[in-house]
Structure 1
C-alpha cells in the first residue's frame, strides 16, 4: 500500500511540475528566486534603486517572484510604451493592494479600483468637472493667496535669520491649497490643519509600505495583524473618514454660500444627478473615494517637487543664478506674481522638467495587473501577472540620458519633450488611462511657488554648512521625499 502511495505522490509531483513548466512559456529573464519569499529579499530599502540594478543584468523587462506573486518589471521607454500604450487596456487594472484597500474600504477609489465600465464613466466625469484646464485656471486665486501667505512667512524668517524647513512648509502649503480647492476649508494655522497634515503623512507612509498580504495572500494577513499594519490602516481610515464627513457636512449646511464652486460642490451635484454619470449613480462613498485621490495624490507630489528643485538649485549655484536672472529680467518689480508670468520663463520650465526627471516623486508607478495574456518585448506575460513600471530606472538610464546623475536643465533646450505622458523617456505622472489626472493642478502650484521663492529671495545654507554637505538621498514611500529635510535661509532682495 505504501508503495502505491509513494507512486501516487511522484506522479502528482510530476504533473504539477509539467503544468508549471507548460505555463512558463517564453517568460522574461530574471534572478533566481528563493523558496517561499521568492525575490523579496532583493528589493532592499529602496526598491526602485534595487530593481534598476537588477535590470542592468537581466534587461529592461524582468521577471520576479515577490512572495507568491508573479511580477514583471519594465524599465525602458520601449517596454513601458508597450505596457502603457500598446497594451494600455489589457494592463490598466489594479491588483488588490492591502493598504489602499484598508484606507478606502468600500469607497470607489479611482486610483486603485479595477478597470471596468463604471471606472471609465466615473473618471471621465471627474476629469471633465475637476481637472480640465478651465477648472485648474478657476482655482488660481486660491493658489495665489496661499503662496502669498508662504511669502509672508519667508519674509519673517529672513528678518530673523531663521532657516525655512522646506519639507514641512511645502507640505503645509500644498495641503492648504488642496483643502481649499477640494473641500472648501481653510486649515491654515488651525489645530485641525495640523492634525490633517499628520494624518496625511501617516497615510502616505502606509501606502509606501509592503504589506505581507500583498505577497502572501493566504497567510500574510496574520503577519500584518501581528505587526500592527492592519490596526494602523484602520485608525488612519477612521480619521480620514471623519475629515471627509465634516467637509461634506459643511457644504450641505451652506449650500447657498457665495464664492467659487469647489470640488465637493461638483461631486454633490453628481450625487443629486444634476451632473450625470449615465446609468450609474454616484453615492456618498464614491464621493469619499474620489476625495481620497485628491487628498493623497495631490499633496505630496507638488510639495516634494518644489523641495527637490530648491535642493538642486542650492547645490548648483550657476543654475540658481541663471534661473533667478531670467525671472528678475522678465518679471521686473511686480508686487503680485501670477501664473501668467510663467509663459516666457523658459529656463525655469527646464529646471522643473529636470527636477521631475532626476527625482520623480513616484519612482515606481502604482502596480498594474494584466487582464489577459499579452506579449511584451517578445516575452509572454500571462493574465494576472503584476506589472511594475520603474520610472526611476528610465530617468537614470545612461542609454536614454547623457550624464543622468547630473542636474542639467539645459538638456531640455530646444526639446519638445514634456512630462504629460506622451514622451516615454520622461514619465513622472505615468501615461495612458491611469495617468495622474491632477497633474495640471499640482504643476500650477509648483511653478507659482518657485517663481515667488526665486524672484523675491536669495537663498543660503545655514551657518557653517557647505554645499557638499547637502544630502541628496531620498526616503522611500509611495512618493520619495528628501530623507534629510532641506533647510535654507532666505535673504531679502529689492524685489521682496
Structure 2
C-alpha cells in the first residue's frame, strides 16, 4: 500500500512539474516572440469594423498584406486570426509545423447534422480522421483505383462531347461550368453509387449545383457566431438554419441511393463493388447500426469538394482562353499535333501535352479553386518566422494572394501559360508558389482524380470543337468577376458557342508562324 501511495505521489509530482514546465515554455515563447503585425484592434469587436462589409475577403486580406507584410494578425471578435500571404511562410507552415497547425477552425454552419464530427475535411488529426482518409484514398484515389475506372471517365467525357455536339448543331450556347459540373457529378455518382445522378438537360443537375454552390457560400459567410462563440446558440443571422435545409436536400439525394442499395442487398442482388458497397460493408462509428449519418457526411465531402472545384477550373480556363486567342490557338495546335484529327483525347496523352498542362497551371495560379485553404487551428503555441502563433489561433493561407504575388510572378495579372514552360513548378504540394490543393498531411486527397479530369475535360472540349463567344458577350467582354465562397466561382457563368472540328480541320494551323 505504501509503495503504491508513494508511486502515485511521485506520478502526480511529475505530472505537475510537466504542466509547470509546459506553461513556462508557453510564457517564454510569448515573451520571446510577438504576434505578427496588424491593425490595432478596438475593444470587444477587435478589427471587425476596420474590415468593413466585404464580400471579397481574399482581396481585402491581400490589400492588408501590402501594408502589414506577408504574415499579419487580426482580432476578429474573440478569435485571433493569422493570415499568411506568401509562399515562404506557407513553406514554413507545411514543412516545419504541419502537425502543430493541422487542427480545424470549423465554421458554426458546418455543425449542422453533426457534419463536423464525421467530415474528413473538418475532423482534427487523429485515429478517426486517419482511418476515414485512408479509406477514401485507398478505395478512390490510388493509381490502381483510378486506372481501374479509366473506361468510366472516358464514357462520361464522351457523354459531355455528345451533349456539346447537340448544342453545336442547334446553335445553342453551352454553359461551360454547368456542363463540366454535370460530367464530374455523374463520374462521382457512378464511381460511388454505380448510377448517374443527373442528365445534361435535367433540372436535377442545376439544382444539385445550386445546392453545392450555396453550401460553399454559406460555409464562408461572415457569421457573428464564429466571431463570438458565446452567441453561437442564438444563431442571430439564421445562417445555421439556412445551411440545415441545404444539407437536408443533399442528404435526401444520398438517402435515396442508400435505400435503393440496401433494398437490393436484402433481396440478394450481387454487389456492385463500388464505394457505397465498401462503406456498407465497413464499420464506421460504433452505436450507429447502419452508419448512415457517417456515410452521408463522407458523400457530402466528396461531392462538394469534387464537383465544384473541377468544374470551376475548367470554366475559368475557358474564360481566359476565349479572351486570349493566341494562347487558345497554341493549345489547340498542340492537341491537333499530338492526338490527330481522327482520335479522341485519352488520359495517356496528358503527359505529351506540356502546353495544355501549362494552361491548367496558369488557371490554378490566377483562379485557385479555393481562395483560402480551409482554416487551420493552432493545436499548440508555435514560433513562425520570428512571430508567435498562439494556441487556438485561426490560421488562413491566402492562396489567391500567393498566386498573384509580384515578387514571385512577373506581370502576375497576365494570363501567360508560357511562364510554366520556363521553369518546373507543379501543384501537387511540393512547390509552395502553387498549392491550390494544399500541402502537407491535409492536402486534398482527391487531387489525383482532379488532375486527370480537368486535363481530360478541357483538352477534349478544345480538341473536338472550336469555340466563340456569343455576340453580346463578344461586344461587352467576358465578366471575370468572382463569387466568393469555399470555392471561387465566376459570378456570371460563362456561355460559349461550340463549332465542331471535322476531318483535317483540327490540323489547321491557327497561329501563323
TM score, norm. by length of structure 2: 0.86
Could you tell me how far apart the structure 1 residues matched to 2:327 and 2:45 are?
A: 46
135, 139, 148: which one aligns with 1:138: 148
1:389 to 1:253, Cα distance in 2 relative to 1, 3 A: same
Equivalent residues of 1:104, 1:292 under 8 A apart = no
In 2 relative to 1, CA 238–171 (structure 1 residues): closer, same or farther, beyond 3 Å? same
The offset of 1:166, in angstroms, is 1.5
1:9 matched residue in structure 2: none
Question: For structure 1, which runs of at least 5 residues remain unmatched after alignment?
Answer: 1-18
Structure 1 residue 206 corresponds to structure 2 residue 214: no
SS, match of residue 471 in structure 2: coil
User: 1:235 Cα deviation (Å)?
Assistant: 1.2
| 1:476-487 pair list within 5 angstroms | 476-487=484-495
Q: Which residue of 1 aligns with 2:243?
A: 233
Report 1:389-468 matches (<5 A): 389-466=397-474
1:76 aligned to which of 76, 86, 97: 86
> Deviation digits for residues 204-252 of structure 1, max 9, x if unmatched?
2222312221111112543x34x33122122122222222222222223
Deviates more, 1:347-356 or 1:34-43: 34-43
Is the 8 Å Cα contact of residues 376 and 396 (structure 2) preserved in structure 1?
yes
Alignment-derived partner of residue 248 in structure 1: 258
- In the alignment, structure 1 residue 181 sits paired with structure 2 residue 230: no
Measure, in 1, the Cα distance between the counterparts of 2:334 and 2:475.
Answer: 23
Taking the aligned partners of 1:59 and 1:486, their CA distance within structure 2 comes to 35
Q: Is the 8 A contact 1:48 1:392 kept in 2?
A: yes
Q: For 1:491, what is the secondary structure of its paired residue?
A: strand
Q: Quote the residue 1:491 is aligned against.
A: 499
Q: How does 1:312-327 map to 2 (within 5 A)?
A: 312-327=320-335
How far 1:149 moved relative to its partner? 1.6
Q: How does 1:267-416 map to 2 (within 5 A)?
A: 267-271=279-283, 283-416=291-424
- Count of matched residue pairs: 470
2:149 is the counterpart of 1:149: no
More divergent stretch after superposition (385-394 vs 407-416): 407-416
Matches of 2:71 and 2:470, distance apart in 1: 44
Higher mean Cα deviation, 461-470 or 381-390? Answer: 461-470
CA distance in 2, matches of 1:315, 1:63: 38
Structure 2 Cα separation of the partners of residues 231 and 454 of structure 1: 42
Q: What SS does the corresponding residue of 1:127 show, helix, strand or coil?
A: helix
- 8 Å contact 1:76–1:394 — kept in the other structure? yes
> Is the 8 Å Cα contact of residues 271 and 281 (structure 1) preserved in structure 2?
no
Could you say which residue in structure 2 is the equivalent of 1:7?
none
Deviations 1:293-335 (A, max 9, x none): 1011111000000000001100100000000000011111234
In structure 2, relative to structure 1, the CA distance for the partners of 1:369 and 1:464 (3 Å cut) is: closer
2:129 equivalent to 1:93: no
Does residue 129 in structure 1 map to residue 124 in structure 2? no
1:266 to 278, 282, 300: 278
Partners in 2 of 1:356 and 1:104 — Cα distance?
32
* Contact residue 155 and residue 492 of structure 1 kept, 8 A: yes
Pair 487,62 (structure 1): closer, same or farther in 2 beyond 3 Å = same
- Worse-superposed segment, 96-105 or 151-160: 96-105
Q: Against the structure 1 CA distance between its residues 96 and 200, is the aligned structure 2 distance closer, same or farther, given a 3 Å change threshold?
A: closer
The more displaced of 349-358 and 174-183 is 174-183
Residues 105-120 of structure 1: pairs in structure 2 closer than 5 A: 105=115, 107-120=117-130
The alignment partner of 2:35 has SS state of: coil
**Partner of 1:161 in structure 2?**
171
- The 1:183–1:193 alpha-carbon spacing in structure 2 relative to 1, beyond 3 Å, is farther
- Pair 104,202 (structure 1): closer, same or farther in 2 beyond 3 Å: farther
Indicate the larger mover: 301-310 or 92-101: 92-101
RMSD: 2.6
TM-score, normalized by length of structure 1?
0.89
The DSSP-based 3-state class of the residue aligned with 1:466 is helix
Residues 408 and 433 in structure 2, CA contact (< 8 A), matched pair in contact too? yes
Match of 2:182 in 1: 172
Matched residue SS, 2:295: helix
Specify which of 216, 224, 227 is matched with residue 215 of structure 1: 227
Partner residue, 1:14: none
Which deviates more, 477-486 or 463-472? 463-472
Instruction: Give the Cα separation in 2 of the matches to 1:468 and 1:417.
Output: 35
SS in 1 for 2:103: coil
What is the CA–CA distance in structure 1 between the aligned matches of 2:197 and 2:419, rounded to whole Å? 40
Structure 1 residue 23, shift from structure 2 partner: 7.7
Q: Secondary structure at the match of 1:51?
A: helix
Cα distance in 1, alignment partners of residues 284 and 67 from structure 2: 55
